[in-house]
Every structure is written in C-alpha cells, then in structure tokens.
Structure 1
Amino acid sequence: MIEKRILFVSYTAVLGGGELCLLDFAHAYRDSSEVVLLTDGVLKTRLEELGVKVEVLPSSRSLADVKVSSGLASWKSIGDLWRLGRQIAQKSQDFDLIHANNQKGFVVSAIARLFGGAPVVWHLHDILTANIFSPTNRKIAVTLANWFASRVIVNSQATGDAFIACGGKRQLLRTVYNGFDCAKFDRINDRQATLREELGIPRDRPLVGMFSRLSYWKGQHILLEAVRELPDVHVLLVGDALFGEAEYTEKLKNIAAQPSLKGRVHWLGFRQDIPALMKACDAIAHCSTAPEPFGRVIVEAQLAKRPAIATMGGGTGEIIDDGVTGLLIPPNDPHLLTKAMQKIFSDREFTKAMVEAAYIQAQTKFSIPSVCQAFEMAITGI
C-alpha cells in the first residue's frame, strides 16, 4: 500500500485531546506528511521531538479572538481566513489530502479547496452542541463540511450523531477512535510507592486521580464534593486552566481549603508522567458535566489497570460497559460518585475483574495500530 501524503492543519497549538490525537497520526505518517500550525506553541515542540516536519503560518489577532460560542464575530476574521486559505491551497499541491484537525483549521482548509487545494478531511473532535458552539458557527461548519469535505472523521459515534443532527451528511462520516501507545503504560511498574512519597500522599490511603484541564465542564468540583463524604480518600488533580478559567480554579482552591478536605487534595498542574501518576492512584474519576466527545483519560486509566468512573453521555458509553469495563454515573451527582468510589474500594474481586476486562479492551480497540488501520480505511478512495 502506498502511504498517503497528508498535510495536517491545526489552528491551536495547546495540548488538548484533539492535539494529542494529531500527534499520533502525524507521527505515524511522518515520512510522507507535514503539519501546518496556525499558532505557535508547545504542540510544535512536541511534533519536532517526534521527527515530524512542521511549519507555523501565523494567524492574526482577529482570528484568535473568534470563539466557537460567538456568532457574527466570525466575520471580523474573514480577511485572515482568506489569506491562510490561499497559503494552504498552494502548499497542499504536494499532498494527496488536507487533514483539518479543528474547526478553525477546517474553515481555512475549506477555503483552500475553493482555491484548488487538495481534498479535505475534517477530523471532528467536538460534539456540536448548543452549549458550546453558537448556532452561527455550527451552521457555518456543517455547511462547509457538506460542500467541501471529502470525509468527516469523528472520534465517536456520539460525535457523529451530533453532526447529523446539525444537518451534516451521514455519508461523509467515518468513526475513528483515538489511539494510544499501550507500551507506555506497560513499561511502568504497578507499584508507585516512591512516587506517592514524593507527592506527600500516605501509602495506606485510597487515592483518586483526575487528569484534565481545570474547567467547570470537566467537573473537578463534583469530585471534591464527593470526597467530602470519604474522610480517608485523597485526591490527585493533574492539569491546569488553559483558557482563562482562573475564577473556576480559585473556586476549587476554596473548596479544597475547607476543613473537610484540607490536606487531602494534591495539585500537580500539567505533567508528562501520566502513566506513572495513574498507577500511583487507586481509581480514576472522569466527571464531565456535559457529553464528552470521546474521553481519552478513561482509556488511559484502563491501560494503567486502574478502575475508571465516568459520567454518562457522549462517547464515554462507547468506552465503558457499565460494571464490566468501568462504572458509569449520571453527571452532576456527587452522591452517586461517592457510592461508586465506595464500591471500588470495598469490593476487591469486582474491581479486579473490571480492571482486567478494561485492559484487554483498551489494548485491542484503542491501540495505535488498530486506530491507524481504521484511519486508513476512512481515507481510502480520496
């Protein structure tokens, strides 16, 4: 099989779930492909470390100011979008297709198609819901997809269903889950007592980890409320605010400082040693208050052989079979989260069986080779 020459296009250069997915695909196709970023940042450094050819085409401040929740503000950036579209069209002449990794990157790539650019694949990592995307931006994105995209790759069936509900064409869709390097987790020893000591966490206390940027919709406050009722349980929060959510971070700090939680919440910010940190935990919580497009942290927990508790909605139900490969609870329910943690900590046989089943699933369904094969099938015929 001849490897496709792919021009990957991404607006943002911070490391969210979509960008981590891009790292995997860009690395897999590094010998024949290239990445174009429309903003500079840590993603560029990570790509270069992986041996991926990367170029930054800087966008203007007007494009940076456009939010997915905004409406007609998008028109302020039309000149910049047009300029970038021309540049991408010219650059794409040496490639078989353009892979747009986010909404702004897709809009630029669709404009590139107008100027004779290569066929466009939109990799949709977000559920197009009203609470995140404005009606205008949803309409623009779906209309451009129907007109200019050769494929729309979605990270879960739930993401695809939302695309169709917004008027997207079903025939464009292909589901390709996020992929994971299973070996990263297998190389880490299951005993992380030394790491716990370094973090100041008692060995004999249950530890629940949450791995996500600090954001209201990620639900760190739900976990803190749930742990109030479990006086022996400690919490590990890995991640930080990415998009100016300082007010929410302050709220979390205030909750953690209350007498019922004081000394039991451990803040680590962003870390690279995720596999080791997960294996230092006894359980992993995923508390999103809105439907999650996929849920990378859940799969990572499964690969780390740690029980995962996640909220229902979106793609989580495609990763967790409740009671078999993890536990699912309704969103915004600290009481049920408390009960789920109690179940995991008290019923060791149940937890062991669940962890083993989840590990086998993650190794087969979400490995990099499996996902790359699905990706190849998705772009066949373009």
Structure 2
Amino acid sequence: MHSERRTVQLGERRTPAFEPISGAGELKVAFVVHSLAESGAELSLARTVEARPEFADVTVFSVQDGPVADRLRNAGAQVCILSPTARRSRLGDILNRVPKLGKAVSATSAVMRLRSEFSTSCFDVVVARSLPSALIVSAISKRLAGTKVWSVHDRLATDYLKSEIWTFLLSRIFPKFFTGIIANSRATLDTIHISQSQNWLVVPPGIDVAAWNPADGGDYHESGATIFVVLGRISPWKGQELAIRAFHEVRLRNPETRLRIIGAPIFGEEGYLAELVALASELDLLEHISFEGHSSSPHETLQGCHVLVHSSTVPEPFGSVVVEGMASGLVVIASGEGGPVEVIGSGENGFLYEPRSVSSLATAMQTVLNMDDASRRKMAQLGMQRASKFDIATLAHEQFVWLEGVSSGHGGSYLSSSLR
C-alpha cells in the first residue's frame, strides 16, 4: 500500500510527492534501454539511478551490455542483459557474418526475453529510455502490468531521424502506447504528439554540479593563450568539422589560440575522425588542434580550458555538455536552436550563434576573445549560477516523484524547476 502523500514544488505547479514508509522497494521501477555504452542517454540514466530517492527500487534491462552496467550495479540497481550471451555456436558465427540478420535476431530475442522477465516480475512503472527500447516495450505493452512511460531523449523530427515514415510513427503513433511521456527539453516535447489524457514531464538530464565546479570556485582568470574546447563523441552531427573551420577563421587574427577536441567515435564513426584530422592538416592546423580521444574525467579536462564550443549541426535535444561547460566556469558558445536555447541567455551567461554557420560561430568566438577579463569572469560566473539549477539530486527527485504520481493515478503535466 502507498503511504500518505505530501506536495513538493515542481516547476511552476505542484504535484503529489511520495512519502516512503521505510526501506527500499516502495516504488519498483524498470528502465528499458538498448545499450549501456558510455553515451549521453546512458550516462544520464546512471546519474539518475545514483541520485534516486530511497523509496525507489530500480532494475535496468538492456539489449546490449556495456561499461555503464557496472556503474549501475555499484549504485544498487539490478541489471539484466537481454541479448543472447552465447556467440560461440555455429549459428552465432553465421549471425556475426550477416550484421542485419544478427540485429534482427538480437532484437527478437530481446523482446522475448523481456516478456519472460516481466511475466515473473512486478513493477509499478516501466520506463523505455530510448527509441529502440520504446519499440520493444510497445511490442509487449499488453503484457505489462505496470504503468508505461516513455522517456524521450531524441527530437522526433525528420532533421534528426532522417526518415519521414519513422518520424510519423515515433512522434504520433508510438506515444499512444504510453501513459506518460518524459522529455529532456521543451524542444523535444514539441516534437511529440501527446493526447490530453497523457501525463508529461519536461526534466533535463542533470549533472553532479559540484563535481564540475572549478577548484578555484569559478574565479575566472586568463592563463596564457585562450583555449577553445569541443567536448563530446566524434560524430558528423556533433559538428566538429564546423568547429575546426570556425577556429581556422579565428586563428588567422589570433595565432596564439588553440583548440582541443575531446571525445572518440562510438558507433562506427572512425572514418569521420580521420576526415577531421585530414581537414586540420589541409588547413595547416595540426600544431594548433589536439585530438585527445575519450576522457574518463572530462570535468578535470575542462579545467585547463577557457571557452567551450557546442557545434552540433542538428538541433540538440538538450545538450548536457552546455551545462557541464557552464558548471566548469567556462564561457560557453552554443548553436542557437534546440535544448541550448533553454539554458543560455545569449550575451548574459553565454553566447548563441546561427546554427550551422561557420562565420557566425567564428564571430561568437572572436567576441569572447575581444572581452576583457572582468567581462569574461562575470559571464562565466553567471553561467555557473545557471548550471546550478541542473543538479542531478534535484532533477532525479523530481523525476521519481512524478513517476510515483503517474503510477498511482495522481500524475500531471509539469515543467522542471530547472527550466523556469
């Protein structure tokens, strides 16, 4: 039985909050994902699970294994890998040689395994946290006893999905299988067709703000040449090429500047990294740009930089790296569309530039270079203040409070306090 309820502030409205009786397991939540790679949505899940309130008992089902699994287990979550583990058989060899067949068999196996798991387990809420997992949960929705929620981390738009058919299905048809929708930004929510009877929550992926804050407390100071940094996985839509071309324009007038590119290709995009290195060579920038690969401690890496450049060429669903850069005391320059628009007040706590424009990004970078130390310091400190609104402890609590409300029939539609 659920215990007495109270209310807590959640954005500009109020929502019922769950008051646990005692011990774990009061609210049983199953998260379904397709991967546990060290990518944005998976790392966001890990932070959310680590910061969950005591009343939430979490199990994570994933189609594929990955390094995030250990982090989830260390946080006290149960982790179940749905894909077949035995690949040593003759059938396994055949599947490995025919990738499309292997993926189809793996997906079918995941659906059957998940259906089996849910036939023997009881959850209050089942949360699909990716597009593939939403398909899997939809396929067995009639067999799931718990309340079904879709946590959407991607804009369901053609410019993002590259398919009008999939955009239609995902934005208009699949939401009907779920009682509630969680979106990571208003930009994402605006791409989802939600009925009046559905509950929704807009809550960004939080970060551990204290871990990102600079050791000197954000007392901005210039130390030698200005260092620009691009942080994120290497991928064409993340726009590292755009950043390199803009940096080339800026460096013509500011030869002492440097650019650091932090990140690695994850989903078979090594060829794009090779193209970036070739571009840097063509522009005679190899001595001024460093390709540093994946960083296991990006919060420490950013401490040696001054300006973070967000250069995505497709509207970012949210863009956690923007908040991470602000929390680190860096001046942040971001594309003026998608999630970053909900975080940055251009000219106040950062800068927004015209999307996909090399000249506009170069102009914003030059603007920062032209600022005096006092102006940069003020902007960096205002950025840190804005980033403090996105602390994971607060946002995880808001999310689990809302999940409990939806599961017990007391849900609603709310905007996170971080986006007020």
TM class by shorter chain equals 0.7 to 0.9
Larger deviation: 83-92 or 10-19? 83-92
Output one character per residue of 1:13-59: Cα deviation in whole Å (capped at 9) or x when no partner: 21221111111222234862111111011121222333332121116
Output one character per residue of 1:327-362: Cα deviation in whole Å (capped at 9) or x when no partner: 000122222222212221221333222211111111
- Choose which of 75, 99, 102 in structure 1 pairs with 2:127: 99
Q: Indicate how the Cα distance of structure 1 residues 226 and 146 shifts in structure 2: closer, same or farther if over 3 A, else same.
A: closer
Question: Is residue 282 of structure 1 aligned with residue 306 of structure 2?
Answer: yes
Partners of 2:399 and 2:186 lie apart in 1 by 15
Partners of 2:294 and 2:150 lie apart in 1 by 28
Say whether the 8 Å CA contact 1:237–1:266 is kept in structure 2. Answer: yes
Question: Is residue 299 of structure 1 aligned with residue 326 of structure 2?
Answer: no
Q: Between Structure 1 and Structure 2, how many residues are aligned?
A: 360
Q: Indicate how the Cα distance of structure 1 residues 297 and 316 shifts in structure 2: closer, same or farther if over 3 A, else same.
A: same
Larger deviation: 351-360 or 309-318? 351-360
Q: CA RMSD in A?
A: 2.7
**1:53 matched to which residue of 2?**
78
Tell me which amino acid in the other structure corresponds to 1:120: K
- Choose which of 175, 200, 204 in structure 2 pairs with 1:173: 200
Output one character per residue of 1:46-74: Cα deviation in whole Å (capped at 9) or x when no partner: 22333332121116969x967xxxxxxx9
By how many angstroms is 1:259 displaced? Answer: 5.3
- Residue 35 of structure 2 aligns to a residue whose secondary structure is coil
TM-score, normalised to structure 2, is 0.79
Tell me which amino acid in the other structure corresponds to 1:211: L
By how many angstroms is 1:81 displaced? Answer: 5.6
**Pairs within 5 Å for 1:132-211:** 132-133=160-161, 134-142=163-171, 145-164=174-193, 168-169=194-195, 171-186=198-213, 188-189=215-216, 204-211=224-231
Larger deviation: 344-353 or 98-107? 344-353
Tell me which amino acid in the other structure corresponds to 2:165: T
- Residue 237 of structure 1 aligns to a residue whose secondary structure is strand
By how many angstroms is 1:144 displaced? Answer: 5.2
**Pairs within 5 Å for 1:1-382:** 1-2=19-20, 3-29=26-52, 32-58=57-83, 79-80=108-109, 82-93=111-122, 95-133=123-161, 134-142=163-171, 145-164=174-193, 168-169=194-195, 171-186=198-213, 188-189=215-216, 204-229=224-249, 230=251, 231-258=255-282, 260-348=284-372, 349-363=374-388, 365-379=389-403, 380-382=405-407
Question: Structure 2: 5+ residue runs without aligned partners?
Answer: 1-18, 21-25, 86-94, 408-420
Partners of 1:239 and 1:18 lie apart in 2 by 16
Larger deviation: 332-341 or 53-62? 53-62
- Residue 384 of structure 2 aligns to a residue whose secondary structure is helix
Tell me which amino acid in the other structure corresponds to 1:27: E
Question: Structure 1: 5+ residue runs without aligned partners?
Answer: 67-73, 192-201
Which structure's CA Rg is the greater one? 2
By how many angstroms is 1:128 displaced? Answer: 0.8
Partners of 1:218 and 1:116 lie apart in 2 by 36
By how many angstroms is 1:136 displaced? Answer: 3.4
Partners of 1:158 and 1:26 lie apart in 2 by 24
By how many angstroms is 1:320 displaced? Answer: 0.6
By how many angstroms is 1:85 displaced? Answer: 4.3
Identical positions, percent: 25
- Residue 229 of structure 2 aligns to a residue whose secondary structure is strand
Say whether the 8 Å CA contact 1:89–1:113 is kept in structure 2. Answer: no
Larger deviation: 214-223 or 84-93? 84-93
